[in-house]
Copies of this chain bind each other. A is one copy, B any other.
């Protein structure tokens, strides 16, 4: 009973342990439950949205910067040896646009890019007007009895039997024959011809010989025609491109006597038959037998080598040429007309057989799709065509582009990284004839590019000399480029191995020298003091960036390794001497330009890092303040250069000044906002990026100057009357153009253009400040 009673009691106790526990037990269980809940809350919270967000989820990708290791990895992976091998492979055939190599080259590039991991690669063909000699053009000297006593070369020494190398010619020169007394006209500028006229030299009916330089390739004939000349011969003076006392190529990089700079006379951009629109199958085309463009005269032009130029010029009659017209041919230049001494009564005869033909040219377009903003494009490009083998121009750039794509493609293929924005690569066709491939493509996709392109990076000639890297372009990209050059080791440290470990040890030890430092060292003194930063130059108009930058307002940059012309011991040249000649071969690069391809490597590294930062930074790395400073500098330039003239005509710059001030304030305010933006809100970031993206677009005014050459950037550009000035070109034109308009019309034009520029800058300020619409 006791037992039973006990059992009973025990039983009751046991039951109570579940149903009626003691307060201690209750508290204990409660505590456990509370702790459990707390633990669970933490687990649940962080499993959902905390540091444990999967890095490939959109929530993570939209709100976080890409991985930090990518930058160094991309830079490290760029190999000089690969670039060298690319160049060697690509320069085994000639590269003349519109020939068989146009398509073959494009297919080769396409296959490489596909193999290297681009997401999408396509060819974009355009049918465009190109120009070739039908039979080799000739320059001859004819005796009084009609006998041909001298015939100039048709092609460079050593290339006579190369069936693919094109003979000397100037593209788009009209065909024609001309014969007459020879006159030497220096560079063929209007001033040069006027000087001759002032000296009593009649140019009517003459054949004119001029040096390359000072005036655009096509303008020489345009000017000569105005003075009545019948034909133009142009040559590269050894005083500019050669070593007058030898040795020249192949002993050195200097131009030897048979080297001839080919080139296009066309001064416009894009296909000449379809101005403003893409040269597609549906395109309306103007008459190919009646092409008009800036730089196209109706008299023929033919380029020759300086050996032949010496033959032609040695016995010129007439007064001596002025001292600043003299050159390196080894005798004193006279101006003519006609010959004296042994050559008396001889005439010069010029025969140009060029024909304009419709040919198909190809771009290759390759993309890496952006992970977060596929509809934002970072553009990178270079052309593929060259005049003969084109090793430096353009293949040094293409060799770098291939290596960049290999490195990016490998990383993307590995699955460990993909840029937030889409990267679009362009291998352009027919650049040499007038930036045709890039222009047609941009014309075809003008709507898409205007809305989606972030920036355009151009590396055409990657290395024309290996002293230092030159940067030109939109100031918006200055910081991105300079930051990249700080990360890239200098090409000068040829002892620094590519091997990661050794380099990082050196870096830790402070032994690594950056490309940025090299660029600073190679920058000319500023006010007598060593420069503290590299120069960042105005964009030019000589490569495929023109349509992107000057017509569409896409921030662009052009990278190139160049001579430091002020370096002791350097013999400065206007451009590398083999430019546009048959001598521009792999051998030339390997022996004279960049034997170890370290400069190539450096420019490719800057480019790949710039592509990365533009395509992968959450906020576009655009340099608002430098851009605003530039605008102020443009204004100051106009004030200094033209202020007095303007004041004298009663023109006030007051509104322009206040527009620039408004723009600067807006830029400063937006710059501050960038620091405050909530990176966790993707639409706030996108709205901010859109402001940056569309800023330079606001400087484009398609109403301003209709028709070719479609240079619509009202702030940065080129005056027709002052090649050094780049600020507000339409205004500068109006100020300087006293030849065409009467004073009243000129004043009217000045005021009108000033008003447009003021408006455009105010528009740009609105883009940054929401125009009172987002309050």
- Complex Cα distance, B48 from A32, in Å, reads 24
Nearest CB of B to A216, in Å: 25
Cβ-defined contact, B284 with A752, below 8 A? yes
Q: A17-B24, A32-B29, A36-B40 are in contact. Are A755 and B45 (CB under 8 A)?
A: no
Q: How many A residues are at the interface, by size bracket? A: 35 or more
Check A775 for interface membership: any CB of B closer than 8 A. yes
Q: A214 at interface (Cβ–Cβ under 8 A)?
A: no
Is B766 a contact partner of A680 (Cβ separation < 8 A)?
Answer: no
Q: How many copies does the complex hold?
A: 2
Binds B, one of A442-450, A507-515, A573-581: A442-450
Interface-central residue, A681, A766, A773, by most chain B CB under 10 Å: A773
Closest residue on chain B to residue A277 by CB atoms = B759
| A265 contacts the other chain (CB 8 A) | no
Complex Cα distance, B43 from A451, in Å, reads: 44
Q: How far is the CB of A406 from chain B (nearest CB, A)?
A: 19
Contact with B along A374-386 (1 / 0, CB 8 A): 1101000000000
Q: Which candidate, A183-191, A583-591, A683-691, is the interface stretch facing chain B? A: A683-691
Beyond A690-B451, A694-B447, A751-B284, whether A775 also contacts B367 by CB under 8 A is yes
Shortest beta-carbon distance, A498 to chain B, in Å? Answer: 32
Decide if A119 touches B43 in the complex (CB within 8 Å).
Answer: no
- Interface 9-mer from A72-80, A99-107, A599-607, A697-705: A697-705
Which positions 17-47 of chain A face chain B at CB distance < 8 Å?
17-18, 22, 24-25, 28-29, 32-47
Asked whether A282 is an interface residue with its Cβ less than 8 Å from the other chain, the reply is: yes
A715 within 8 A of B: no
Within the assembled complex, what's the spacing in Å between the Cα atoms of A775 and B114?
13
> Roughly how many angstroms separate A282 CA and B702 CA in the complex, as a whole number?
19
A731 to chain B, nearest CB (A): 12
A residues 712-730 in Cβ contact with B at 8 Å: none
Instruction: List B contacts of A659 (CB < 8 A).
Output: 282
**How many Å lie between the Cα of A36 and that of B29 in the bound state?**
10
Q: Are B375 and A687 in contact (CB under 8 A)?
A: yes
Query: Which residues from B are CB-within-8-Å of A751?
Result: 284
Cα of A686 to Cα of B758 in the assembled complex, Å: 33
Nearest B-chain residue to A423, judged by Cβ: B773
A446-B284 contact in complex given A37-B43, A45-B44, A277-B755, C-beta closer than 8 Å: no
Nearest Cβ distance between residue A45 and chain B, in whole angstroms? 4
The residues of B that contact A367 with a CB separation of less than 8 Å are 772-775
Cβ-based interface call for A484 (8 A): no
Contact A282 B772 (CB under 8 A): no
List residues of A (614-641) whose CB comes within 8 Å of B's CBs.
none
Q: Report chain B residues within 8 Å CB of A47.
A: 41, 44-45
Interface membership of A771, Cβ < 8 A? yes
Known contacts A37-B36, A451-B690, A773-B367; A683 and B373 CB within 8 A of each other: yes
Q: In this assembly, does A201 line the interface, its C-beta being within 8 Å of a C-beta of chain B?
A: no
Least Cβ–Cβ distance between A689 and chain B, in angstroms: 10
Q: Is A756 an interface residue when CB atoms closer than 8 A count as contact?
A: yes
Interchain CA distance A120-B751 in the complex, whole Å: 34
A772 contacts which of B24, B39, B120 (Cβ < 8 Å)?
A: B120
Answer yes or no: A326 CB below 8 A from chain B CBs: no
Whose C-beta in chain B lies nearest to the C-beta of A685? B683
Inter-subunit contact B422/A764 (CB<8 Å) = no
A697 and B775 contacting across the interface, CB-CB below 8 Å: no
Q: In the complex, what distance in Å separates the CA atom of A122 from the CA atom of B14?
A: 81
Does the CB pair A447–B706 fall under 8 Å? no
**Would you call B375 and A690 a contact (CB within 8 A)?**
yes
In the complex, the answer to whether B49 meets A687 with C-beta atoms within 8 Å is no
**Could you give, for residues 40-80 of chain A, a 1 whenever the CB lies within 8 Å of some chain B CB and a 0 otherwise?**
11111111111000000010001000000000000000000
A585 CB → nearest B CB, Å: 35
Min C-beta distance of A620 to chain B, whole Å: 15
Interface centre among A49, A284, A758 (most CB of B within 10 A): A284
- Which of B374, B447, B766 makes the CB contact (< 8 A) with A445? B766
Please pick, from B120, B706, B754, the residue contacting A284 in the complex, using a CB distance under 8 A.
B754
Does A655 touch B at the CB level, under 8 Å? yes
Contact A766 B44 (CB under 8 A): no
The yes or no answer to A141 lying at the interface (CB within 8 A) is no
**Contact between chains at A24 and B18 (CB < 8 Å):** yes
Residue A424 at the chain B interface, CB threshold 8 Å: yes
- Complex interface: chain B residues within 8 A of A374 (CB): 687, 770, 774
Q: Are B774 and A422 in contact (CB under 8 A)?
A: yes
Q: If the complex has contacts A29-B29, A375-B770, A773-B377, are A282 and B758 also in contact, measured as CB distance less than 8 A?
A: yes
A287 to chain B, nearest CB (A): 10
Cα-based distance from A367 to B50 in the complex (angstroms): 37
A41 to B763, CA, bound (A): 53
CA distance A28 to B25 in the complex (A): 11
Known: A45-B47, A448-B773. 4 other contacts (CB 8 A): A33-B36, A62-B682, A375-B687, A451-B451
* A-B contact list, 21 entries, CB within 8 Å: A14-B24, A17-B24, A33-B36, A36-B40, A37-B39, A48-B48, A58-B681, A62-B681, A276-B703, A277-B756, A367-B772, A367-B774, A373-B687, A375-B770, A444-B762, A444-B766, A446-B763, A447-B764, A448-B767, A686-B686, A703-B706
